[in-house]
Amino acid sequence: MSEIILEKICQETFIKTSPEKVYDTITSGDGWNAFFTSETEINPKLGGMITFRWKDWGPNFYTTSAGGPVLEAGRPHKFSFKWGIERPSVVTFELTGNYGGTVLKLTEEGYPNTSKGRANMLDCACGWGEAVTLLKFYLEHGIVYTPPEK
């Protein structure tokens, strides 16, 4: 059995706005907080830290945080960081101006090939799909995350 899962999480979408606007949103705590997190902090430069936070998120009202160092900050085309606790994975956003907007490609790799690693990878694959969709809705239509009422 391999120590690291060779496959990557891949999410891709088209967003009808410029790569600069997408980049500025995904490298800003306020940007993330508008559509997917709460109280996220980002120092969007090489070696800076990113800390995602969710408080009472979604219908299960979970509260958690995760983060790590920024690995690449190449406005407006690439943003990459490590995150995780036991064995950090690497998340990379690649932004390409095309079709009158931006093609966003997100990949995440580096999960351990263990039962827990595979479960975490599945959870994050779903979460990144939700995040990319919410980012598109936010940037194209101004729709912000509305938490459920307890």
pTM: predicted TM-score of the whole model, two decimal places: 0.94
Give tens-digit pLDDT for 119-146: 999 999 999 999 999 999 999 999 998 8
Greater model confidence, 150 or 56: 56
- Identify the burial level of 146 via C-beta atoms within 10 angstroms of its C-beta, where 0-12 means exposed, 13-18 middle and 19 or more buried: exposed
Residue located via tokens 């990459």: 80
How far, in whole angstroms, is CA 45 from its chain's centroid? 16
The two three-digit tokens of residue 59, written as one number? 């219908």
Alpha helices by DSSP H, 12-145: 19-26, 29-35, 115-141
61-98 pLDDT per residue, tens = 989 999 999 999 999 999 999 998 778 999 999 999 99
pLDDT of 150 higher than 90: no
8 A C-beta contact, residue 134 and residue 147? no
